[in-house]
C-alpha cells in the first residue's frame, strides 16, 4: 500500500507538470488556467451532488435495517474523487471524474470490493461486529 501511495505522491505531480507545460504550449496558458478552474468548479458541484445522493442512500439503507455497504464504497470514492479534483492538473482531474461518475465508479467499486475481501481473508484487515 505504501508503494502505491509513494508512487502517487512522486510520479503523478511530475506527470502533471509535464502535461500542464505541454497543454500551455499547445493551447496557451490562459486556456489551461481556465480549464483548471472550470474542472474544479464542475468537480465540486458533482462531488456535492453525488455526496448528497450517497447520504440519502445510507439513510435509506439504515432505515430499512440494512448495512449500507455499497453506499459506503460510493462515499469513499466520492471523497477521494472530490479531493483529487481540487488538485490542479488534467491527470488528477480525469481520475477524480472517473471516481465521481456513477457509471465509471461501478467497476472501480468492484475492484475495491475484491481488494478489501482479499485483505480481510489474509488477515490484514479485521472487521469487528457487535
113 domain residue, yes or no: yes
54 domain residue, yes or no: yes
Distance of CA 47 to CAs 7, 9, 70, 90, 124, Å? 25, 22, 17, 17, 30
Question: Per-residue pLDDT tens for 7-47?
Answer: 778 888 899 999 999 999 999 999 999 999 999 899 889 99
76 domain residue, yes or no: yes
Looking at residue 130, its pLDDT comes to 66
- Domain range for residue 70? 31-120
Question: Per-residue pLDDT tens for 4-15?
Answer: 888 778 888 899
Q: How confident is the model at residue 94 (pLDDT cuts 50, 70, 90)?
A: very high
Looking at residue 30, its pLDDT comes to 94
Question: Per-residue pLDDT tens for 46-87?
Answer: 999 999 999 998 888 888 888 777 888 889 999 999 988 888
Q: Give the alpha-carbon dihedral of 112, 113, 115, 118, to 10 degrees.
A: 170
95 domain residue, yes or no: yes
Domain count for the chain = 1
73 domain residue, yes or no: yes
55 domain residue, yes or no: yes
Amino acid at each position: 500500500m505504501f508503494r502505491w501511495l509513494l508512487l502517487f505522491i512522486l510520479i503523478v505531480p511530475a506527470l502533471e507538470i509535464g502535461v500542464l507545460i505541454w497543454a500551455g504550449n499547445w493551447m496557451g496558458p490562459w486556456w489551461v488556467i481556465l480549464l483548471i478552474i472550470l474542472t474544479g468548479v464542475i468537480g465540486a458541484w458533482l462531488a456535492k451532488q453525488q455526496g448528497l445522493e450517497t447520504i440519502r442512500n445510507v439513510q435509506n439503507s439504515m432505515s430499512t435495517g440494512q448495512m449500507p455497504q455499497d453506499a459506503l464504497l460510493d462515499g469513499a470514492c466520492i471523497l477521494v474523487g472530490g479531493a483529487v479534483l481540487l488538485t490542479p492538473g488534467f491527470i488528477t482531474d480525469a481520475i477524480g471524474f472517473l471516481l465521481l461518475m456513477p457509471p465509471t465508479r461501478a467497476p472501480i467499486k468492484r475492484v475495491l470490493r475484491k481488494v478489501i475481501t482479499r485483505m480481510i481473508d489474509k488477515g490484514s484487515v479485521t472487521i469487528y461486529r457487535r
